[in-house]
Homo-oligomer: A and B are copies of this chain.
Amino acid sequence: MDDKKISIAVIKRLPRYYRYLSDLLDAGITKISSKELSERMDLTASQVRQDFNCFGGFGQQGYGYNVRKLYEEIAEILGIEQAYDVVMVGAGNMGQAVAKYDNFKRRGYNLNAIFDINPDVVGNTIAGIPVYHLDDMVEYIKTHKTDIVTLTVPAKVGTTIVDMIGGLGIKGIWNFSYADLHEAAEKYGIIVENVHLSDSLMILGYRLHTEK
């Protein structure tokens, strides 16, 4: 893979390519043209070719792409084979839903512990994962390898959590809260990836009232 900076727009399409190619492999399809792939993905064929060129090709134009090779190379670019140790803060509705998603484990997302302050959940397990009190989080992280903290907490406590985990060696935050954490996280060199459902809903609303 080239060291040149790849645009975030291209990066964001990679998981979609990855999923499509995975479906194609499951269906026993070994070759695909940029035209076919682009139609399935609602992109133009030239966009697909451009995207793949960013990473140094993968195929011969006119002959189609080798599905397995493409799949494996995209997996490598995405770092799919890596495993991460994760703790989650927030055992509310969203936290529970995320904890119960079996799929994430296949992506190397190993959820080891959940922290909350609610006495109804502390001491229990969710999908087999123990729920501890938030007061024990820092000690837990100090004594258990932890790469990612998943935040499913109310917006007002988001920054507080970042300050609690800053300096403990956390690499990334998967942020479902509406707290904007980039300033706090930057201080500690932590990467933040946001999932903001309300934003997605607003974009759907925008599209409904402009495209319709």
Contact = CB atoms under 8 A, between A and B. Distances in A.
A108 interface: yes
Nearest to A106: B198
Contacts of A193: 200-201, 203-204, 207
A79 B11 contact: no
Contacts of A20: 180
25 contacts: A12-B199, A12-B203, A14-B206, A15-B198, A40-B180, A79-B205, A79-B206, A79-B208, A82-B205, A82-B209, A93-B100, A97-B97, A98-B197, A101-B197, A104-B197, A104-B198, A107-B198, A107-B201, A107-B205, A109-B201, A171-B212, A174-B201, A174-B204, A191-B204, A191-B212
